[in-house]
With several copies, the nearest count.
Chain A
Amino acid sequence: MAEKTYRDAIREAMMEEMDRDTNVLIMGEDIGVYEGTFRITAGMLKKYGPRRVIDTPIAEAGMAGTAVGMAMLGLRPIVEMMTMNFAIVAADQILNHAAKVRYFSGGQVDVPMVIRGPQGAGVQLSAQHSQTFETFYGHFPGLAVVTPATPADAKGMLKTAIRGKDPVIFLESAALYGMKGEVPDDLDFTVPFGQSRVAREGSDVTIVSYGRMLQVSLIAAEKLSNDEGIEAEVIDLRSIRPLDLQPSYASVAKTHRAVVVQEQWKPFGAAAEIAASITEEMFDDLDAPVARVTGEDVPMPYARNLELLATPHEPQIIAAVKKVMYHD
């Protein structure tokens, strides 16, 4: 085990897999000569050369679509989206092609490809550059959608993604790139999809989250413990599709109350699915309706004060916990 940043965990996962399998390659805008806007790919062009580290024009549909073709022919392309916001222009290639060709061909091809990049609010990137996409992709069968919240998961899940047979939407958070954590050294360390985990144990309330909001939830849980003596169990979903809610159900069986935390707009957001599923499964165990903590239902504003109001923070999580505990 060694301590690593989330950024390095991602780069290492890619490089180790490229070392292991020449079918793995990466393409994206300014990932080579420029070394990546977030420097995830620093040093890779020099090490692997331009056939395996491909600088592309600004053409996200082209990137995603060519990756599908490569994957159908046996390569394992990784597409870096400079930010996931730009992948909207590639939505058809992802949702109608990558996600469906296995099915409509009657299973004649594997489509082992990864689309990865940062998502979510940064600092004042405003409306077109601050969105999260777990719901956008999570609705579509044929895709895997994952949201690692720690360096270890970033590395282990990216390896699973690269080694898999299906298209994976790998959602990072720029705000986590600098975050440090222990990461196993084993070259074959992988984290399977569809296995959520208990990130913090507790007995009073269950907080379910993923990605960056998992970290915010953990801070809120500490505050709740210190300030209120409330012990929250925090569940890290890790993957959105497939979605594993068993640990959440088990936790709710213990705590009888749940709060789901999601960064973006409430209507038709990921938290709705999680809350609805928990309710379906654990209705008789629940002492209060599952609460949702979400961003405000507005495009992201530029001004810092408004931006802070638009996204959820510890106080909203704490308030929601108190609400489901009828402490308010």
Chain B
Amino acid sequence: MAETTRTSATTIDSAACAPEWTEILRQMIFIRRFEEATEREFRRGKIGGYLHVYSGQEAVATGILSAIQKGDIVFSGYRDHAHALTLGADPCRVMAELFGKATGVSKGKGGSMHLFDAEHGFYGGYGIVGGHLTLATGAAYALRYQQTERIVVCYFGDGAMNIGSFHEAMNIAGLWGKQGMCPVLFVIENNGYAMGTSIERHSALTDLSARVRAYSIQAEKVDAQDVFAVRGVADRVIRQIRETGKPYCIEAVTYRFSGHGAADILQPYRTKDEVEEHRHRDPIMILRNRLREICGLSDDDVKKMEDDAGERAAQAVKFAEESPVPDPRELFTDVVAEHGPQPETES
């Protein structure tokens, strides 16, 4: 199997100082603050169920989703807050969803694992590992069938690559791609672990991009703690997908700083040192330092961003807290189309 190329953006040109990068930094900082708030609110018992936060992986959401266009569609797993937020979902409504409130993006019916915001192109939020890959593949077909130039982005974890639906989706995407009918960007969020199982222990072949090439789908690795690198690949690749209608895969090599979920306190599968080491490659720090060094971003600017982000996260919590719970009648809505051809199920 050929060596996997690894892209990294060591050469930074003047475009690096475009205002957009400040926006990306702002967004990454906000995601971090937002996730910290969710962890706090989970401990306070305000958020229920499972909670999977994104801290450490911010460059994957922002680097790629800043490169797509309006009308593009995004699918994700259960670690989905950052994707929804980066697409423009209202943080207040995202937090309200986590609180199980009527004002939530999914009316409080979905929760953390099932954020959904069709208006902003976010098509969920799924809890069965690997289950949404086939959905994304079908969505990509639909967009091409409808003769649009829209594309699909589909996020999933390294661990999801071992389940059958990954395989079926990839092979179908590869086949449809040959007809130019499958404009989808698969993004492996390779954070090294499926819950507590490291890649070496869950994947027979540890070169994940190589696995994807076995479906005749182009794939490349990128150092995803470096949002410049991610964005660089994304720009090029998304253009290609849009032009060709063929799938592509980015293996975003990243790391999660928090536990797998809120219950993963002990983390017996990795050492404190390992986590600490990766904190030296915090994607926020990397971008911030670069903007400081090259573009003259000041400490004050950064401080202001941090404060703003904290403020917005706090506002989201406040909004969520003050929002009403769903009306009990909501229990029975959205089961089937209310005005579909079928009468209500008798009870």
Contact = CB atoms under 8 A, between A and B. Distances in A.
Chains A and B share a contact (CB less than 8 Å): yes
B48 A123 contact: yes
Interface stretch (A50-58, A205-213, A223-231): A50-58
B335 A141 contact: yes
B109 A144 contact: no
B49 interface: yes
A184 interface: no
B166 to A, nearest CB: 9
B196 interface: yes
Given A30-B197, A73-B143, A93 B124 contact: no
Given A126-B49, A296-B331, A302-B49, A165 B130 contact: no
Nearest to A62: B168
Interface stretch (B32-40, B100-108, B223-231, B287-295): B100-108
A65 B169 contact: yes
Interface string A237-275: 000011111000000000000000000001100000000
Nearest to B135: A69
- A68, A106, A267: which has the most chain B beta carbons within 10 Å? A106
B269 A57 contact: no
Interface in B113-164: 113-114, 116-118, 123-143, 145-146, 159-160, 162-164
Interface string A173-216: 00000000000000000101111000000000000000000000
Nearest to B263: A37
Contact of A33 (B131, B168, B196): B196
A165 B134 CA distance: 20
Contact of B164 (A59, A303, A304): A59
A92 B128 contact: yes
Contacts of B171: 57, 59, 62
Interface string B203-216: 10000000000000
B335 A51 contact: no
Nearest to A160: B341
A85 B50 CA distance: 15
A29 B110 contact: no
A305 B325 contact: yes
A58 B105 contact: no
Given A106-B107, A298-B335, A163 B341 contact: yes
B337 A74 contact: no
B134 A33 contact: no
B164 A67 contact: no
Interface string A86-109: 101100110011000111111111
Contacts of A141: 335-336, 345
B328 A306 contact: yes
B139 A306 contact: no
Interface in A20-60: 25, 29-30, 33-35, 37, 50-51, 55-60
Contacts of B102: 303
Q: How many residues of A sit at the interface, in one of the four size bands?
A: 35 or more
A286 interface: no
Nearest to A304: B100
Contacts of A61: 134, 163-165, 168
Contact of A65 (B104, B168, B195): B168
Given A59-B172, A105-B124, A69 B268 contact: no
A302 B336 contact: no
B26 interface: no
Contacts of A18: none
Interface string B323-347: 0011010111111110111111111
A84 to B, nearest CB: 12
B116 A108 contact: yes
Nearest to B136: A69
B109 A104 contact: yes
Contacts of B336: 102, 141-142, 144, 165-166
A164 B341 contact: yes
Given A166-B336, A245-B346, A301 B109 contact: yes
B128 A96 contact: yes
B169 to A, nearest CB: 6
A77 B142 CA distance: 10
B331 A301 contact: yes
B110 A194 contact: no
Contacts of B175: 57
B77 to A, nearest CB: 11
Contact of A166 (B137, B179, B330, B337): B337
B208 to A, nearest CB: 13
A66 interface: yes
Contact of A108 (B97, B106, B135, B268): B106
A16 interface: no
Contact of B326 (A33, A243, A297, A303): A303
B322 to A, nearest CB: 15
Interface of B: 48-50, 73, 75, 97, 100-102, 104-111, 113-114, 116-118, 123-143, 145-146, 159-160, 162-165, 168-169, 171-172, 175, 179, 181, 194-197, 201-203, 263, 268-269, 325-326, 328, 330-337, 339-347
12 contacts: A29-B194, A34-B195, A59-B168, A74-B146, A92-B128, A109-B123, A126-B110, A164-B342, A190-B341, A302-B100, A302-B106, A306-B331
Return the 8 tightest CB-CB contacts between A and B, nearest first. A65-B134, A69-B138, A66-B138, A34-B196, A124-B48, A62-B168, A106-B107, A302-B111
Interface of A: 25, 29-30, 33-35, 37, 50-51, 55-62, 64-75, 77, 85-86, 88-89, 92-93, 96-97, 101-110, 122-129, 141-142, 144, 160, 163-166, 190, 192-195, 241-245, 266-267, 296-299, 301-306, 309-310
Given A65-B137, A65-B165, A165-B340, 19 more contacts: A57-B172, A64-B134, A66-B134, A73-B146, A92-B165, A96-B131, A107-B107, A107-B334, A126-B49, A129-B127, A142-B336, A163-B341, A166-B337, A192-B342, A242-B346, A243-B346, A297-B345, A298-B332, A305-B326
